[in-house]
Structure 1
């Protein structure tokens, strides 16, 4: 009876959750309803999946609207109709210039069309078209021409809200959508306050004078049947890469055996062949053959284009993936657990996360869309967050910014707030988690056997690729499994570094960056790992990873693989990271492991480190079968829908252990470790893939640090910002130069030991200006003077001022203040046009400019303004002379001593204690450029907060644990820097208050 039901996927309009809609319908005795969200089919599959639980037959459709103006409703008679609706809706979602017409402008077979009733309009209806009569239309219908066509009329009772609170929420969402005050929201932008579901009998009573409308509606709904099989989770991805499944399997087998020589050479152990046959058998049985071949096809194209990539995920546990060159991880060498990658109980294919350089990924995505017929990116639901909602609703209610700031910081007593502020808090909590708008998944792509529109409509984000209206969880529910095409800057750094090295060292053989076996034995790399000197290196440069490497003193591949997973929150949270460090460093400690756990995980000393350890422990310690063990692993991931099944598995784990005679406290402790993983731990193959890339970057850092840091700077760093990588290059004896008109390019370049920063790092310098400079220099050679530059390059005074301030014309030998005067006198502020070539060159007028000296100190402040950081040592900008001569290198000798030291803030990590209080970890540089690591417990974090970038005086106790030094902070204050001389009355004669001479400053300039 309900032909127009909305969920909260009618974005910023509906207020009912999908399952809640079914529950409301069940309570009201409704057996069939049509889900017709506004311009959306996001909720359709979810409602179909959940409908059996509520014994309701859902019918699928869409409410087509321009804004809130309803044009018509389309309802699918069957699956083909649903596909037609999705394709039709997608036409408008792909092209925002198209308006939805009053009537469908194409034949939509297998669909019903329902138009809103308009008394003054009368038009001919096709056999599949009807007019919808709302309760408020009933009185006028009696006197309308349409009353004579009762066979074409149906009940149209819209459902958008559950109750009055839902309607109030709707009004707030409409105000947010219209960016207006609630008091100024036009009524035309709202739904009707009575758009709520009535009990079935009450609805029939409302239309009792028009029984024909009721029967028409019921007959229409009975005609509609759309089905999706959620029980059969057989993959719905593209079934074949070749002409059929048989030839697909033959191709997979051939590629596998062809890859043996490349990976293993001529001497191959028997267990390699045994593993191959075991995997091929299960891959075929589970229907995953095409999944492997499609990944292989994508990467074959990548190799043809010489793109660097890393294949990771649980699929990295597979020898087939290794032989097909999807991954670079040898499961035989690492003894990777086969059942984590795939087993007969597992429904979904193994994960392959394919990482490409950020520069190459778009081409890979293009290739996929051009090669495979039914393809789409996956959406993510960007939801309302509590704090963001406070701001949105604060604006709707007209709260001042200061009040919104107070509410977002949580600095209030709810009972002491005024009524408006209480409403803001109340409704911010209510809409938290509501979908706000659709975004794009980080890398998920669907390659389907059936058209994507069989499942949902698609929209076209700025990225330019069709994107589903549902997320990856809904896709997996129906059996559509994503291919992950991801980008990361680490691969871009490696590729660019190799290109720079090959260009700069032409006399030596090209680098084989894939010589991982050689890298594992390299002593220089071992030294970098042991001493945690890995800034710029993939996955091993963060403060937490740097400290972990120091504590473990890892210098081998397997140790790094373990460290890549130990650092994850699950292992750390359980307290097992510390225990792993103890057992790693002190072999006698390993005897404390339970014998069963030691036997299951000998390599990690009886400690769960990898995802597959959950399966092993559940299976071998807890007595669960592999299907139940995998259910346990998935239950930890946060994507698992049914907690009931998970709880049953948990209970069986405990029952089996107790029945087996294991002590209850041991079982509880093991379970705590299992539970703490919470989806964070990596599969071992995944960690091993990360470690491969880490070794590649470590090799480049060990042998070509300046070239590698140049590539790092050009790829916008990694964990840290550009400033730290510039600093790291300087620590390796690099000379850093500001951008230069005659030496620099768009990106940074290295010439021997000198790195010239690129023009792209200058804030507000336009790309067209950069291109003009570089094109002119390439065609006609270097610039000889400022006049020569102005003559050859059309440029505005604003743009040339940026270049002069960064001292890009220093080759002229003229002070930049004088150059600025000249530029202002010689360049008009009018719109710049391209120069017209003339036969004779007009001589420039030269003006006598006053002598206006600039200083190195002004250069420092100009670089802070234009680059975001100074090219001099920031400690030389302190207002007062240092009161501490301590450096990071002294701290190992001062364990448990209270010290005062100064540090330049690099980064902070905020976290919460077990009781919810905020604490911080800080990373600083000392005056020599070495790292200082600090811990700020909640009382200190509250009393001495970080106050942005700068140099801090840090008071605290020196703590040394496993050779790793931290400062437990007891007091901290940010130190003042000198006044900016560019705006000082003494700017022509500045002095250093900290007694450092200009010559000192020059020494640390690039």
Structure 2
């Protein structure tokens, strides 16, 4: 225990002696300091109490050290030389001051500023010079450091969570019992010999590695979820395990999907296995809290995350510290990319900004004025990528092990949420010290499907399980093949929609491949095109050796899955599957040329010994090495594919309930509530207006599944108490007027006006409708005292995330034809009456604009003009490494994905970050490589083209705008 002599340390309120520091001495309160020393001596053994001497390099530092040392001598206490460390190098002191000031919401120099650059990690030589007159303090520091070095040891063992089965039952015995029950449930009364043999092999491996308790913990978590009717499914490599399947942790059947236990765990792996469970996001916290409550006696906590500053965040931090106003800080950070491709260039101040400033989004940006903002840019460049704060992992839970409390294994701290502790290690640190975490992840699709399932169950009068739809439903796959996949789990992104039309899935195996192929690795490796062509019979394929036909036939000769590396290594070189996994891991991680050469020699040598020609063995290894980098886990793909199919089935057979569930689970997925509601309208569902007497808390299904009605939670600024009071009061008797509603409920005046603008109060004013309701709301006085006595925060708006979401680089701007529609948008962020482009369709035809649906039908080579509201802008990885941008626009007919190459983006890209509605000139391409593509050649502002007839806020004219001139109709060439 050390008593710190840091000059800034004060005396805490309450006089806790274990927290009080020698500031008492420095402030002349020696009597109180002596009392503290007596208390500390009673608490700590001899030789464990020191007075810390720390010279921070500020004026008077040496004098303070002398006063504290003199006090220690008077009390007979040993001194210990230390140094406060806030940064690694002296040059980093300005960054530290910037971060401290920004954290305190202050400008530089900040409330805790100390004029020194000496708070860095000093070398032993520097410490010896600073404390050359106090060698005893240096010796004490070395002795304490030596004792501390032996306090924490990495034993190499894995600290498996301690689970308590029934008295007299071992974890291994309990796991065997549960697996036996599960195998009979999954495979019937007489499981086949292959199932029995694999189950036995897996259980033996789990027991030998000591992970039985870990599986039991996951099973207990899943049991808590099911008891609470919280949907739960496993994801990731755990689905490779037959034991997990039998325990009900995962749903893909291992044999039919060729899932291999060794991809998940085996005796040759040194890192612990990782079990991930997806739960309904609204019930996840309750499940996690109950599990942690059961094991709080042995310690339970959540993992930490290390949050670093993006470039945009670094600009905000630097601007705050330099004293810029909030408004100017927002303006300076707007359109700054979150990250840059060449960070090494950026960290060379000012010059490193050149690439970022050349981005189209940064055109005419204030930061182009380097003379004014040079210091801010220099600080931001150096802050970029720095650790900003510790965060809490989304779902990673860790537990005490083998009778040892978790606090004995790692440091813990409060998480910021009452009753929830956080480990000071992130997931990589936990793996390094051998502490497996159980990931209990919130998944909004589970939430949406649960809500949709409840509505369908109510409609049918019997309970249905939306996670277990009838298999191989033709109508479901037919819809997926059209590419109209909005709302479908993992299938709704623009790229997946396009791939659906090309790959043409007809069974679950096709969905597994589709989800696995649409990943950065397979796309960079150009695995998609050969797979699609071969599946559709457009291209033959062959395999290097006959032994590989069985492994590669399901994927048409393309190595898609990581599990295939294990099988190929086994069949060609005779490796065990566990050895094959080590081959996979070696290929997918950076290894030196020597290590890869040794691996190649072993593979080829063992293959030749089995009769494989050496040239063929070399060919297989090279081919496997090239493709394995891009492979995806089949277990992960299968887990997601089953949920994708379930969501698609619900959309096809219960569309109203499905969209209702989606809209009541926001934010989630790829598309905003506005787009989802428009999609529901496009498939024939009615959209009923808000009504304070008929609307529920969220969206509701009416008309026997024919229509959706907007819910109260979509009214901006409304508190939960206000919604509850509306629902409660109207159940007794209806509201007679706007004033009556205001008097009887917890609705505040500003929220009342928003309800009026949205249309919830139209029915309360008879023929005067919207205008009368708004006028009545404005005439009412503020409620006195309610805000102070019953403070209520507004509920998070379901669409708020879409307006603020980083990474899109766009703003979705409303386009309204009437004042009524404009008020709806402002109050709800929805288009209830009609699509915002509907009033302008004739004007758009005059401009030669086709609907998105018409563009999709055009033949190859056709030039056309499209228009729509921007929905998203993406730039996924490409094989060439050159950026390609995918812009999705939306009109009344649907979504249209367009492709923008770099040259066009550099000319017009600034518009995409400032406007909300566009005209796009381009050309249709239909190729095997891309399927359908609309290649954009010119981008213009739709607002400018229509001469301001479509008002959208914060839109400024730009040189890229189209003029009204343009031929009507389709242009071909």
The TM-score range, normalised by the shorter chain, is: 0.7 to 0.9
Cα contact 1:618–1:653 (8 A) shared by 2: no
Residue deviations 1:124-151 (CA, integer Å, cap 9, x gap): 4623322223454478459945445665
Matched residue, 1:728: 679
Counterpart of 1:882 in structure 2 is 845
Matched, 1:433 2:385: yes
Partner of 1:920: 885
- The corresponding residue for 1:652 is 598
CA separation in 2, counterparts of 1:143 and 1:773?
A: 68
Match of 1:765 among 689, 713, 718: 718
Match of 1:314, SS state, is helix
Question: Residue 301 of structure 1 aligns with which residue?
Answer: 224
Matched, 1:859 2:820: yes
Cα offset, 1:476, TM superposition: 1.1
Cα distance change of structure 1 residues 911 and 521 upon mapping to structure 2, 3 Å threshold:
closer
After superposition, residues 746-895 of structure 1 pair within 5 angstroms as 746-752=697-703, 753-780=706-733, 782-786=734-738, 789=741, 792-793=744-745, 795-811=747-763, 813-816=766-769, 818-820=771-773, 823-824=776-777, 827-831=780-784, 857-871=818-832, 872-878=834-840, 880-883=843-846, 884=848, 886-887=850-851, 888-889=853-854, 891-895=856-860
**1:242-286 Cα shifts (integer Å, max 9, x gaps):** 268962111111111112232122353221111111111111111
Task: Give the one of 467, 470, 480 matched to 1:529.
Answer: 480
Q: Name the CA distance, whole Å, in 1 between partners of 2:353 and 2:767.
A: 67
Task: Give 1:472-491 correspondences, 5 Å limit.
Answer: 472-491=427-446
2:803 is matched with none
Structure 2 distance, partners of 1:730, 1:428, is 46
Alignment of 1:302-341 (within 5 A): 302-341=225-264
> Any unmatched runs of 5+ in structure 1?
1-60, 73-97, 107-112, 835-854, 984-993, 995-1006
* Counterpart selection for 2:873 from 908, 924, 931: 908
SS of equivalent residue, structure 1 residue 433: coil
Q: Which moved more, 1:649-658 or 1:754-763?
A: 649-658
Query: Which residue in 2 is equivalent to 1:696?
Result: 646
Contact in 1 for aligned 2:886/2:897 (Cα 8 Å): yes
> Would you say the 8 A contact 1:380–1:441 is kept in 2?
yes
Query: What's the offset of the Cα at 1:162?
Result: 4.4
Secondary structure of the 1:882 match is helix
Counterparts of 1:280 and 1:201 in 2: how far apart (Å)?
56
2:395 and 2:861 map into 1 onto residues whose CA distance is 48
The answer (yes or no) to whether the contact 1:296–1:326 under 8 Å persists in 2 is: yes
Cα 1:982/1:169, change in 2 over 3 Å: closer
- For the pair 1:955 / 2:921, whether they are aligned, the reply is yes
Q: CA separation in 2, counterparts of 1:909 and 1:166?
A: 36
> C-alpha displacement at 1:428, in angstroms?
3.8
Alpha carbons of structure 1 residues 406 and 601: separation in structure 2 relative to 1, 3 Å: closer
**Contact 1:594–1:606 (8 Å) recurs in 2:** no
Give the conservation status (yes or no) of the 8 Å contact 1:796–1:832: no
In 2, Cα distance between the equivalents of 1:261 and 1:619?
30
- Between stretches 765-774 and 155-164, larger displacement belongs to 155-164
Partner of 2:907: 943
Name 1:567's counterpart in structure 2. Answer: 518
Q: 1:407, 1:207 → 2: CA distance?
A: 47
Distance across 1 between alignment mates of 2:742 and 2:84 = 68
1:443 aligns with 2:404: no
CA–CA distance in structure 1, aligned partners of residues 913 and 86 of structure 2: 47
Residue 582 of structure 1 is matched in structure 2 by 533
Secondary structure of 2:680's partner? helix
Give TM-score scaled by structure 2 length.
0.79
Question: 3-state SS of the aligned residue for 2:845?
Answer: coil
* Equivalent in the alignment of 1:344: 267
Q: How far apart, CA to CA, are the structure 2 residues paired with 1:597 and 1:562?
A: 18
Shift in Å at residue 329 of structure 1?
A: 1.5
Cα contact 1:529–1:554 (8 A) shared by 2? yes
CA displacement at 1:558 relative to structure 2: 0.8
Offset at residue 490 of structure 1 (A): 0.7
Matched, 1:543 2:489: no
| 1:943–1:763 Cα change, 3 Å | same
What's 1:104 paired with? 18
- 2:445 is equivalent to residue 494 of structure 1: no
Assess if the C-alpha contact under 8 Å between 2:225 and 2:231 holds in 1.
yes
1:69 aligns with 2:33: no
Cα distance change, pair 421–596 in 1 and its aligned pair in 2 (3 A): farther
Residues 890, 896 of structure 2: 8 Å contact kept: yes
1:22 aligns with: none
Partner of 1:84: none
Q: Is the 8 A contact 1:115 1:132 kept in 2?
A: no
CA-atom RMSD in angstroms: 3.8
Aligned pair in 2 of structure 1 residues 418, 256: CA closer, same or farther (>3 Å)? closer
Per-residue deviation, 1:570: 0.8
User: Is the CA contact (8 Å cut-off) linking 2:54 and 2:82 kept in structure 1?
Assistant: yes
Structure 1 position 472, deviation (Å): 0.9
Residues 274/934 of structure 1: CA separation in 2 closer, same or farther (3 Å cut): same
Q: Are residue 603 (structure 1) and residue 554 (structure 2) matched?
A: yes
Say if 2:656 is the partner of 1:706: yes
Taking a change above 3 Å as real, the CA distance of residues 914 and 942 of structure 1, as seen in their structure-2 partners, is farther
Summarize deviations over 1:743-797 as a string: whole Å, max 9, x none.
Answer: 10111111121211101111123333222211111122x3355465456446444
Task: Give distance in 2, aligned partners of 1:825 and 1:388.
Answer: 40
Q: Classify 1:116/1:615 alpha carbon distance in 2 versus 1 (closer, same or farther; 3 Å).
A: farther
Q: Is residue 194 from structure 1 mapped to residue 161 from structure 2 by the alignment?
A: no
Deviation at 1:907, TM superposition (A): 2.2
Match of 1:131 in 2: 51
How far apart, in 1, do the equivalents of 2:883 and 2:786 lie? 55
Q: Against the structure 1 CA distance between its residues 405 and 64, is the aligned structure 2 distance closer, same or farther, given a 3 Å change threshold?
A: farther
Corresponding residue for residue 154 of structure 2: 230
Contact persistence 1:151–1:216 (CA under 8 A): no
User: 8 Å contact 2:542–2:557 — kept in the other structure?
Assistant: no
Question: How far apart are the structure 2 equivalents of 1:407 and 1:966?
Answer: 29
CA contact (8 A) 1:117 1:131 kept: no
Partners of 2:761 and 2:465 lie apart in 1 by: 40
* Partner Cα separation in structure 2 for residue 514 and residue 270 of structure 1: 29
Question: What is the number of residues matched between the two proteins?
Answer: 854
Give the secondary structure class of the aligned counterpart of 2:541: helix
Moved more, 743-752 or 202-211: 202-211
Distance 1:99 1:737, change over 3 A: farther
Q: Unaligned stretches of 5+ in structure 2? A: 56-60, 341-345, 355-368, 606-613, 788-815, 954-963, 965-973
- Once the two structures are TM-superposed, the CA of residue 817 in structure 1 deviates from its matched residue by 5.2
* Cα gap change, 1:667 to 1:419, in 2 (>3 Å): farther
1:166 aligns with 2:96: no
Structure 1 residues 207 and 458: alpha-carbon distance in aligned structure 2, compared to 1, 3 A threshold: closer
Q: CA deviation at 1:689?
A: 1.4
The structural deviation recorded for 1:654 is 4.0
How do residues 89-100 of structure 1 correspond to structure 2 at under 5 angstroms?
A: none
Matches within 5 A, 1:7-156: 69-70=8-9, 103-104=17-18, 118=26, 120=28, 121=30, 123=34, 124=37, 126=41, 127=46, 128-134=48-54, 136-137=61-62, 140=66, 144=70, 146-148=72-74, 152-156=78-82
Distance 2:740 2:123 in 1: 83
Q: Distance in 1 between matches of 2:293 and 2:717?
A: 37
Partner residue, 1:466: 421
- Alignment CA distance shift 1:190-1:522 (3 Å): same
> CA 1:591 to 1:768, structure 2 compared with 1: closer, same or farther past 3 Å?
same
What is the match of residue 841 of structure 1? none
